[in-house]
Amino acid sequence: MNPSDNYRALDALQFDNRFTAELPADSEQSNNIRQVRNACYSRVQPVGFSNPELVAFSREMAAELDLSSESCLTLRFTEVFSGNRLLPEMDPYATCYGGHQFGQWAGQLGDGRAINLGEVINRHGKRWALQLKGAGPTPYSRMADGLAVLRSSLREFLCSEAMHHLGVPTTRALSLMLTGETVTRDMFYDGRPKAEPGAVVCRTAPSFTRFGNFQILTAQGDTDLLRRFTEYTLRTDFNEQRELTPKVITEWFTDVCRRTAIMICHWMRVGFVHGVMNTDNMSILGLTIDYGPYGWLEDYDPGWTPNTTDASGRRYCYGRQPEIGLWNLVQLANSLLPMVEQVEPLQQALEVYSETFVAHRQQTMAAKLGLKHYDAATDDTLTTDLHQTLKLAETDMTVFYRRLGAMDITSDSFKESTNDELLNPLMDAFYQPEQLSGDTLQQFADWLKSYRHRMMQDGSPYKERRQRMDAVNPKYVLRNYLAQMAIDKVEQGDNSLLEELMDTLRHPYDEQPDKEQFAAKRPEWARHRAGCSMLSCSS
């Protein structure tokens, strides 16, 4: 291929830009902090940086945009997706939205450090919005600088793609750039800020519309624009061409409830904890959005949150995510009420959320345990007892399920085993094996015996059961300490660990014998190290 073809590949991107073409813009043109009314967005330009440098790109996401890997290695790609150069059809803007933060209405929020470049239509007719995070301030920056640091940007880039390969509904990431400049941040909120490497991540999604986009319009009493924005959303993001009636709105909201339930069920399946489930961080497409202080459940503690800001209240801990999903949907329902004018249809839609979550959670648990189907009469108790038992000792959730799948639970030798022998195949999952004694050891053994009894009823051969379990129980997840190790390396100018992690996380359910070090439980040195367990919202 002629090198110039790689440069032309960017120019060949087909921009649609329906958002700015069909919705009202902020009438004020200057980029200053302000309250915005009668508008869905403000036009704004990226600031540009002194010496941007490509750190990594997703070849899968590039392919979705009809870009070759070679085109992503060009200087022009670096210039465009760091914000230093705009393609002719780009129309940059920041959206206006509100939201509830930690349960309290926060008023106007908006894209404080995200600048949308426009929407691309690929050769299959699929829409992809392109968004730079960390490319400079917007009218919604709320006294911040609109910039981002490497540690948060790398974590978002890597996790977006890792979640995609796990099969979790998610926004995606195209690229990660260093800006060549530093950004000052107080990581621990302890009055000791320091300069860190600046970075920009290009996020992608069919749409970045959030619950908060509707909430702000209702809060402002702008029902006409609320209807206009809802019509746009149904037509563009849901391919709904029908007249906007209360029935149509309710049916659409029901779909949003269903999508949200499925997304959160996937989070629970893989042990993902979002950390900041504010309503402005909830996608109407049921996509995981805004990767801030997230984490994976290592020790099975339903009360664990990765967010230091949430350490006391634990509002967004692992075990409360289904409940918070419903709470957030109630807030979205309240914002749609001026158009529906009746509470009952919206309440019925909310019931669909709960019904969908329960149904998918049962299907998920059946697969995680290798069962052909979920029988509530027996399996409600089996799963409840398992979750109670896992809390008795510090148990790594990811390792436990993977090791459980490898056990030939229905073999004749299982019946003759002592309690210690029963637990031996699972020992790699326990952070403090000495906890497995006395009553705790007995309860784990008793559960394994109950599980064996259920599997004997199920009748699945060992290989079939293991295949079923390995398809939903990942071996590789983006543990916080792995991300931090990659951050440390990139800060030293070494991208090799980031690249190796990206390659490993492309196949999270596969046995990868040469990558076993990434499947191990969190090492002891990482238990309390900054960036390896809980994280702040600082970025």
Whether residue 519 contacts residue 475, with contact meaning beta carbons closer than 8 Å, is answered with: yes
Q: Domain check: are 283 and 200 in the same one?
A: no
> Within this chain, do residues 62 and 164 fall inside the same structural domain, yes or no?
yes
223: number of Cβ within 10 Å: 12
pLDDT of 192? 82
Same structural domain, 308 and 409:
no
The answer on pLDDT for 254 being more than 80 is yes
Within-domain flag for 348: yes
Q: Is 135 helix (H, G, I), strand (E, B) or coil?
A: strand
Q: How confident is the model over 50-82, as pLDDT tens digits?
A: 999 999 999 999 999 999 999 999 999 999 999
Query: What is the model's pLDDT at position 286?
Result: 98
Residues 360-393: tens digit of each pLDDT: 999 999 999 999 999 999 999 999 999 999 999 9
Token couple for 54:
């490509």
CA distances from 361 to 45, 294, 355, 373 (A): 44, 21, 10, 12
42 located within any domain:
yes
Q: Which of 344, 367, 390 is the last residue of a domain?
A: 367
What is the pLDDT at residue 3?
56
* Per-residue CA distances from 338 to 277, 346, 495 (Å): 25, 12, 51
Q: How many CA atoms lie within 13 A of 179 on its CB side?
A: 27
- pLDDT of 231 reads 97
| Residue 214 covered by a domain | no
Report the largest interatomic distance among the alpha carbons of the chain, rounded to a whole angstrom: 77
pTM of the model: 0.96
Helix axes 321-340, 246-270, angle to 10 degrees: 170
244 in a structural domain: yes
**If you average pLDDT over residues 414-419, what whole number do you get?**
90
- Does residue 397 belong to any structural domain of this protein? yes
Together in a domain, 12 and 145: yes
- DSSP character for 320? G
Shared-domain flag, residues 344 and 413: no
Q: Are 68 and 130 members of one domain?
A: yes
Buried-state track 345-363, b at ≥16 Cβ within 10 A, e below 16:
bbeebbebbeebbeebbbb
447 found inside a domain = yes
Question: For 303-328, what is the mean pLDDT?
Answer: 97
Give the SS3 label for residue 148. Answer: coil
pLDDT of residue 361: 98
Q: Is 305 exposed, middle or buried (0-12, 13-18, 19+ CB in 10 A)?
A: buried
Compute the average pLDDT of residues 295-304: 96
State the residue range of the domain holding 24. Answer: 3-208
Query: Which are the contacts of 207, defined by CB distance < 8 A and separation ≥ 6?
Result: 127, 129, 233, 236, 237, 283, 284, 285
380 is catalytic: no
Q: Are residues 310 and 362 in the same domain?
A: yes
- Confidence at residue 221, expressed as pLDDT on a 0 to 100 scale: 98
In this structure, the answer to whether residues 286 and 352 fall within a common structural domain is yes
358 and 387 both lie in a single domain:
no
Out of 444, 470, 496, a domain closes at 470
Do 147 and 19 lie in one domain? The reply is: yes
| % of the chain exceeding 70 in pLDDT | 98
Residue closest to 155 by CA, chosen among 525, 397, 504, 501:
501
Asked whether residue 213 is domain-assigned, the answer is no
Q: pLDDT band for 6, please (50, 70, 90 cuts).
A: low
Amino acid at 381: T
pLDDT band at 7 (very low <50, low <70, confident <90, very high): low
Q: Are residues 83 and 193 in the same domain?
A: yes
Segment 101-159, tens digit of pLDDT: 999 999 999 999 999 999 999 999 999 999 999 999 999 999 899 999 999 999 999 99
CA distance 42 to 36: 8
CA angle (37 as vertex; 24, 39 as ends), nearest 5: 15
Q: What is the C-alpha to C-alpha distance for residues 417 and 414, in angstroms, rounded to an integer?
A: 5
pLDDT of residue 55: 98
Structural domain count of the chain: 4
**Tokens for 414?**
């299982």
Q: Which residue has the tokens 């120019």?
A: 11
Show the tokens assigned to 115: 């600048």
* Average per-residue pLDDT for the chain: 96
Among candidate residues 26, 111, 255, 280, the one labeled active-site is 280
Which of 305, 335, 367 is the endpoint of a domain? 367
Same domain, 412 and 353: no
pLDDT of residue 320: 98
Residue 187 is assigned to a structural domain of this protein: yes
Residue whose pair of structure tokens reads 């200053």 in the numeric block: 32
